[in-house]
Structure 1
Amino acid sequence: MINLRLKIKSKSPYLIHLAVILFFLAIAIFYTWPLVLSFNDHTTAIIKPDRDQNFWFMWWVKRALLDFHTTPYFTPMLFYPGGTDLAIYPTNLTGSILSLPVQLLWGIVPTFNFLYFVGLVGGAWGAYCLITYLTDNRRAGLLAGLVYAFSPWQAPATYFGQLTIIQLQWLPFYTLWLLKFLKQLAPADPADLKLVSLRYKIRYGTLSASFLVLIAFTDQYHLLFATFITVFLASWHLLRILFQKRWYNALGVALGVGLAVLPAVLSYAPLFIRTSHQTTSGVFTQTSNEIIPGADLGSILAPWQSLWQLQPFEPKFLLHTLVWLAVMALGLIGVIRQRGIRVWGLMFVVLVILSLGTTLVFFGSDTGIPMSGELISKIPMLNSVHYLWRWLIPASLVIAVCSGYGWVWFETRLKTFKLAQSLKLKGSFRGWLENSGVAKLTSGIFLLVFVLGSSPQPIEWSDWVVEPTPAIFTSGQMEQPGALLELPFDMRYHHKAAYMRFQIEHGRPILSGYLARTPVYFNERSEIPPYEKPTPFFDYAASPLAFIMQAESLKLSASDAINLTSDRLRSYLTYNHFAYLVLYKYDYGEKLSDAVYNQQLKIIERVVGSTKNGCMYEDTQMLVCAVPPPAQMQPLLTFSRGWYGAETDGGGQRWMNGQEGFLAAFVPQTGRYVLSFDAIAFARDRSLTLEVDGKAVTTLKTNPAQQSFTVTLELSTGDHLIRLFSPEPADRPIKLGISQDNRPLSLLFRKMQLDFAS
C-alpha cells in the first residue's frame, strides 16, 4: 500500500530485529539441514555446472581486484589466449566484493554457502521489514518473510546453484526505501504533508539509490525486477497525485525518482552499453531466443507438483498444496479486503503473466496459446533472457505483501471470536487470550505449518558434495608457468564448468570454459565462415587450435596431407605459453570411448612423444603432460573447417568438402613464407583461389592430373586463416558413375606444408 501514514521513529528496535534474523536463520538451517555441519565441502546445488560457474565468478572477482588490479568484466583466464568479455554474464560483483573477507579466510565453498544464507535470511528479513512498515504487524511480517524467501518458486535457483538469483536480500529493502521515499516526496494524503521532512527525503532517497546500485551489480535479472517495481509503484503513486490535481507535487515525485535512479544509471551505463552491444552483435550465442521457457500456470496454484512432479495423492503433495493455497487465499483476501493495496494485486497479475513463457502451459500440457514470451522474444536485449519463470521471484515478494495484508485482516476477524469466553477460561491466561493471545497462537500454528509444508524435497546427501580437485592441481608438481590445453577440446560444454572449478586451485589460464552464452567463435555448430565471425576476441577457427577442437571429426592420421611434426606443434604451443596438456578420461561422469580417447592421445603423442616417458602424471581420471620446448621455432599449418577425413586408400591426402576449405597457419616471426602443396582436380579442370585473412592472394588452374604448387606469402607474426576456394560446382562420384561415393568433391590435396622462404 502506498497510501499509508508516515511514521518516523527515533530509535530502531534492534533486539527485535536481531530476534527476527535469528528466527529466519534457524528456518534456513532447517531447510538445508545438515548443510551447516559440512559448510566447507557441500552446497545445496545439485546441478553442478551453474554452481561451479558461480564458484569461479567469486574467485575471479577476487583475482581481478586484488591481484590483477583490473576490471572483473573481462578475463584472460577463460577461452585462452584471447580471453572473453564478461559484461553479459551475472558476475554478482556486489556479493563477491562484500564476501571477500570470507573468501580470503575460508575459501570458495564456505563463501558460496555464506552468500546463499545471506540471500535467504536477508531476503526474509527484508520482506519482514517491508510488510511490518506497511501494516505495523510483526506477525504479518514474519509470514511475509517466509513466503518470499522460502517459497517453492525460489527452489529452482537453490538446486541449480544459481547464487546470483538467490541474492534475495536487496529487492525487498529497495522496495521499502522506495515506498518511504515516495511518501516523503509527496504523501498521497494531503493531510500528511506536514510530516514531510527534507532530512528524511535525503535519507530515503540515498538509501533507495544505494540499494538500486547494489542490485545493478548483482544480477541483470534483479535489476530488471527492480526497474519493474520502480516504474510500477512510482507511476501508481504519481497517478494518484495527478488525479488530485497536485501538479507541483507530481513534478517533485518525477524529479525525485529520477534523482534516485540516476546513480545506478550512471554507474551501470558503461556495462549496459557493452551488454547491449554484445547481445545484438552476434558475438555470443543464445542472445536472441525465439522460444523462451516460462512457468507452468499450474505452479501458481500447486508449485511443488509442476516443479518436482509430485503426484496429486502423495501426502507431501497435499500438505504443500494446502499450505500454498492458504497463502494465495490470504493474498486474495488482502487485495479485496484491505484498502489501498490493489496496486500489489495488479502487480502480481502482471508478473505472473510475464512469467508464463512463449505459450501457455498448464500442468505440463502446452495449450499453444501465445503468451508474453511471444512478444519478449521479438524485443532486442530482452530476448536474451533464458527463463521467464524467474519473474516469479518478484511475484513472490508481491504475494508476500498481499498475504501479509490478508493476515492482518484475518487477525481482526479473530478478535471477534471470544475463545476465552467460549472455553470459560479464567485468570491471566484468559486475559492473554482476550488481548492478543488468539492472534499469536493462530499465527504461531500457521507459521509452523507453513515451514513444514513448504520445506524442500529430500535430496540425497551425496548430491550436495563438492567433488575434490584432482591432486595434481593442488600438490605443487606443476612448476612450469603457463596455460593448460585441456582435452578433449570438443567435450560436452557443461563439463568445462569443472575445469573452471579446478582453475580456482591451479590459477592457470584454460582454453575453454562454461558460460551461459557461448562466444560464437567457440560454437562448433556455427555456420558462419571463420573469417566473417564478428568476434573481438581470439578466433579459434582461424588458428591451429581449430584442428584440435575438431580432432574427432577431422581424424588425426599417421599419414595425412599435412605432416604435423612435434617441433611445429611445440613451436605453436610454446609461442602461446601453453605449459601442459591435460587429457580427461571422463566426459561428465561417463568414460570416453576408446575411439575418442585414442584420437586425443595421438594429439598428445605428436607433441610429447611417448606418454610413458613424456608425461608427468596419470591416474584413472586424467593424464598430464608438460609441453617440451622446440629445438627451433617453426611455422605450423593445420586443417580448419571444410575438409573430409584423411583418405584410407593411398594415404597422405584429403578431399576438400565441397567448394571451399580452410587452413589455419601460425608463423613465429614476420617475414616471407612458402605454402607448398600438390592438388588434383576431380573430374574436370578447376580454378583454385587462395585467400589469406579474407584477402585474395592468387588464383591457380588445376586439372585431374597431380600438380605441384608453391605460393609465397608475406605473413606477420601470429595466426592466419587461409581459404582455398574453387568456384566450379563440386561433383558427386556416384552421379558420374565412377564409384558409390556420394560426397561432393572438387579438389584433392597432398603434401601441404608451410615453411620459411629461403
Structure 2
Amino acid sequence: MIRAQHLFREYTVAGARVRAVAVDLLALTCYLALALLVTWPLALRFNTELFGGIDNIPGRFRFAGYEEAGLHLWRVWWVSEALLHAVHPFWTDLLFYPDGVQLYVQTLSAPNAVITLPIYLLAGPVAAFNTVIVLGFALTGFGIFLLARQYAGGFWGPLLCGVLVTLGPFHLGQLQNSHNHLFSMQWIPFYLHALTLLDERGSRWRIGYASGMAALVVLSDWYWASVCGVLTIVWVIARLALVRERWVLVQRYALFAAGASLMLLPFLAGMIASRTLLPVGHSARDEIWEAYVRYSSADLFGLFFPNVYNPLWGAQVEQILRPIAAPFTPSVWYVAAGWTLTTLAIIGVWSSWQRALHLLIVGVCLWVIALGPTLWIFGYDSNIPMPYALLDRIPLFGAARKPALFVAPVLALLSVLAAIGLEELRQRLPSLWRAAPVVVVAALGTFELWLPAGRVFLPLERPPVYEQIAARPGAVADLPLDVLETSRTLRNQMIHGQPIIGGFIARRPAYPSFDIPLIRAIGTMQELPDDDITPLDRTTLMAMQCFAPVRHVVVRTDLTTQREQNNLEQTLTRLIGRPAVPAYEDAAYRWYELPLFVDACHPFMYPGKGWHAVERNTEMVLYRWADAESQVIIASPHTTSVPALVSLRLAAYQTTRPTELWSDNRLWGVLGISPEPRTFRLLLPVNHGVNPIILRAPTAPDPASNRMISIVAFRVSVAYPALTEEKR
C-alpha cells in the first residue's frame, strides 16, 4: 500500500512536470508565430536581406539603416568565425590594424552568435542575423511569460503580458534603431526568473540556472551586464531586508555568485589581462561624453509617454514629444512602457502591493537610476542630482553611458505586476465572466500596439573588387574610413576577410599606430608633407610599410573628393617610387595593390600625441611646438630589446623649462631645456613594436597663437649603434 502511494505521488509529480513543459512549449510556439507574423515577409527573404525594422513610421523616431544593422551583422559573422576556427572571440586583429582591439566591453552579443551558429553554418550570416531578430521578439516575450507566471500563475495573463512587452514601444524602439544587442533583451527577464526561483529554493539546478543566466547576461552585452550588476545588488539587499531567514538566502546567493564567477572565469581573466586597453569611462571623459550620458537618461514621465509607433496617432505624438525632449536623442531616451501594461501594473499594485513589495522596491530603485545624473521633467533639466551620478564615476561602469537602459528590468517587473493585476480582475468576476478581462486587455493591447504595414529590408552588395582581394591576403585600407560611424568597411570585410585600417565599434580604442605618418596619410587621404621633425624620405616610408604592411588600398570614388584621391596617389607614388597604377577600377571603386618591402625593415621615429602642426621659420627650418605632454614614437621591427641612441634637438618657450623624459613607464631624467636650441642625446632600450618617449614640460600662454605651449622640437632621430657595428 505504501509502495503504491509512493508510486502514485511520483506519477503525479512527473505528470505535473510534463504539463508544465507542455504549457511552456505552447507559449514559446505562440511567441515564435507572433515573431514571424510581425516580421512578415521576412521568412521569404531570410537568407538574402537584412531585416531593418518597421516601415511607414512618421518622423525621425526611426533610425533603421545599414550602419547599425551592418555592425551587428559583422558581430554575428566575427563571433561565428572565431568559434569555428577556435579563435579568441573577445579580441580581434581584424580591426584597427595593426593594433587590434578588445571586445570585452563592446556590444558584441556573443550568445546571439552562439545560439544562431547552426543557422550560420546552414545559411550564412544574413540568415543568422535575421534569426536574432525573430528570437528577440519570441524569447523576450517567453522570458516575460516565465517570470510573470511565477508570480501570477495561469496562462493567458502571463502570455498577454509577454506580448505587451515584446511589442511595446521601448522594445520596438531598439529594433527601429537596429540595436540588435539591446533588442535581444530576453536575458533580462530570464535572469529575473532565475533569481526568483533561487529565492524559493536553493537546489543545485536553480543555482546553476541563475549562474548560467548571469554569465549569459555578462557575455551578451556590456550595457546589460552593467544593468544586471546593479539589479542584482538591489535585488539581494531588498530581499534580505524583507525576509527573516536571511542566512539561508545568504548561502544561496554566495553559491550563485561562486557559480557565475566560475563560468565567467576565462572571460574575467581576459578582461584583467587587457585591463590597460579597457575604457574606464569617467577618467577618460570629455564634454561630449558628459552630454551623451545626460541625454541618454529617461525623463521622469518617460514611462508614460504614448506609443509613438502607432500609425493612427504616432505623428501627433511625435509633434508633442519633440519639443519636450528637444535635447534628447530618441534612440536613447524613449522608454515608453505602453498604457495597457502600466494600467494593469497599477491595478496589480493597488490590489496586491504587499505581495509585490519586493518587486516594487527593486523597480522603483532601478527607475530612479534610469533617470540619469540629473532629473529631467518633460525635457527640462532640474539639475537635481540623482544616484546615477555616483555610479557613473565607477571605472568600467561609466563606459555603459546609457542610464535609460535600466528601464528594461523595470518593464519586466511591471509585467509581473500587470499579470497580478489581470489575475486579480479575473478572480473578482464570476467564473462565467473570467475570460472577459483577458479579451478586453487583448483588444486594448492590439489597438495600442498596432504596427504599420510596411517592413524595411536591407539588401547587401558584394562589390567584385573585394572578391579579388579575398584571394590575396594582406591588410586593407578601405577608403574613406569609418570616421562617421558607418559600417561599410565591416560589410566589405565579411567579403575579403582581411584586416582593415580603422573600424566601427561602440567604444573606439586609442589606436596609436594611426599616428604612423604613412598610415595616417593613407587613412585620411591628406597630403603627406615632404618632411617633418622626423624623416619622411622614401627609405623611411618603406620601413613604415614593412613595419605595418598595408597591401590593399581601395577607394570608393563616389564617396571621396578628387583632391583626396590626388593626395592618395601622391603618397603611394612616393612610397612605390613610380606612379601608382590601379590594379582594378570600375565606376565606383579603385584598387591599388602595394609592395610590402619585406627587406626594408629598420627602426624609425615619428611624432605622436601632443604636438601642434608643422611650421617653418624664416630660414625654412621645420619645427613643432608641444603641449604639456608630447610623445615621439620609436617603432622597432626587432624581436629583442636593443639600445637606441635618440637625438632630440629642442628649445623652450621664453624661459628654461625642466622637462621630464619618460620611456617604458620609467623616468629617465629631467632635461633643462633653454630657449636656445640644443641637441640632447640619450641611450635608451627599445623593445619590439611601438615605444613612446614622453616629454612633460610646464606650459605658458602664447598670445600670438592663442595656445598653451612648452617646448619646440626641430629634429628628432634615432640610431642603433649595436646594429651598425654588426653590419660592419
Which TM-score band applies after superposition, normalised by the shorter structure?
0.7 to 0.9
- Please list the CA deviations of residues 307-330 of structure 1 after superposition, one character each: whole Å capped at 9, or x if unmatched: 99853498999xx99993332121
2:583 to 616, 641, 647: 616
Q: Which moved more, 1:558-567 or 1:673-682?
A: 673-682
Q: Which has the larger radius of gyration?
A: 1
What does residue 542 of structure 2 align with?
570
Residue number in structure 2 paired with 1:295: 298
Residue equivalent to 1:625: 592
The AA in structure 2 aligned to 1:327 is: L
Within a 5 Å distance, the mapping from 1:290-689 to structure 2 comes to: 291-292=293-294, 293-304=296-307, 310-312=315-317, 324-338=338-352, 340-415=355-430, 436=432, 438-440=433-435, 442-455=437-450, 461=456, 464-473=457-466, 475-487=467-479, 492=483, 494-495=485-486, 497-519=487-509, 521-522=510-511, 539-540=512-513, 543=516, 547-548=520-521, 555-558=527-530, 564-585=536-557, 591-608=559-576, 613=581, 615-630=582-597, 632-635=599-602, 636-641=604-609, 642-645=611-614, 647=616, 653-657=622-626, 662-669=631-638
Cα pair 1:542 1:719 within 8 Å, conserved: no
SS of residue in 2 equivalent to 1:386? coil
SS of 1:44 mapped into structure 2: strand
| Structure 1 residue 492 displacement after superposition | 2.0
Does residue 102 of the first structure (1) align with residue 102 of the second (2)?
A: no
Aligned 8 A contact 1:684 1:703 in 2: yes
**Conserved 8 A contact 1:680-1:702:** yes
Letter in 1 for 2:505: L
Could you tell me whether the CA contact under 8 Å between 1:238 and 1:253 is conserved in 2?
yes
- The alpha carbon displacement at 1:616 in A equals 1.5
Instruction: Tell me how far apart the structure 2 counterparts of residues 629 and 150 of structure 1 sit (CA, whole Å).
Output: 54
The CA deviation at 1:611 is 5.9
Task: Indicate how the Cα distance of structure 1 residues 326 and 648 shifts in structure 2: closer, same or farther if over 3 A, else same.
Answer: same
| Residue 263 (str. 1) matches residue 235 (str. 2) | no
- In the TM superposition, residue 494 of structure 1 has moved relative to its aligned partner by 1.6
Q: Judge conservation of contact 2:39–2:455 (CA < 8 Å) in 1.
A: no
**Per-residue Cα deviation, 1:498-546 (whole angstroms, up to 9, x for no partner):** 3233222222122322232222x33xxxxxxxxxxxxxxxx42775567
The one of 214, 217, 220 equivalent to 2:216 is 214
**CA displacement, residues 536-588 of structure 1 (integer Å, 9 cap, x when unaligned):** xxx427755675489678x52346666534443233323434322334456xx
Q: Give the 3 Å change call, closer, same or farther, for CA 651–605 of structure 1 in structure 2.
A: farther
- Partner of 1:304, secondary structure, is coil
Could you say if the C-alpha distance between residues 569 and 456 of structure 1 is closer, same or farther in structure 2, counting changes exceeding 3 Å?
farther
The correspondence for 1:22, drawn from 9, 24, 29, is 29
Q: Contact 1:157/1:163 (CA < 8 Å) preserved in 2? A: yes
Structure 1 unpaired stretches of 5+: 1-5, 186-200, 416-434, 523-538
Q: CA deviation at 1:651?
A: 5.8
Shift of 1:48: 4.4
User: Contact 1:74/1:83 (CA < 8 Å) preserved in 2?
Assistant: yes
In structure 1, the residue corresponding to 2:156 is in which secondary structure? helix
What is the total number of aligned residue pairs between the two structures? Answer: 673
In angstroms, what is the RMSD of aligned CA positions?
4.6
Q: Does 1:42 align with 2:50?
A: yes
One-letter code aligned to 1:28: A
SS at match of 1:465: strand
Give the TM-score of the pair, scaled to structure 2: 0.78
State the alpha-carbon separation in 2 of the partners of residues 119 and 640 from structure 1. 44
Name the amino acid aligned to 2:435: K
- With 684-693 and 164-173 compared, the bigger mean Cα shift is at 684-693
Give deviations 1:374-426, integer Å, cap 9, x for gaps. 232233443332111111111111111111111112223443xxxxxxxxxxx
CA contact (8 A) 1:334 1:404 kept: yes
Output the CA distance in 2 between the equivalents of 1:688 and 1:370.
41
Structure 2 stretches lacking a partner, 5+ long: 1-12, 54-63, 323-333
Query: 2 CA distance for matches of 1:255 and 1:714?
Result: 53
Separation in structure 2 between the aligned mates of residue 472 and residue 405 of structure 1, nearest angstrom: 59
Cα offsets for 1:109-129 (capped at 9, x unmatched): 221221222122012122223
SS for the counterpart of 1:71 is: coil
SS of the equivalent of 2:461 reads coil
**TM superposition shift of 1:100:** 1.3
Q: Secondary structure, in 3 states, of the residue corresponding to 2:316?
A: coil
TM-score norm. by structure 1 comes to: 0.75
Instruction: Describe the superposition over 1:48-101 as per-residue Cα deviations: whole angstroms up to 9, x where unpaired.
Output: 44433333332222333321x243222222222232322222433322222211
Whether the 8 Å CA contact 1:659–1:729 is kept in 2: the answer is: yes
Name the amino acid aligned to 2:212: S
Aligned to 1:119: 136
- Percent sequence identity over aligned pairs: 20
Comparing 570-579 and 687-696, the one that deviates more: 687-696
Structure 1 residue aligned with 2:59? none
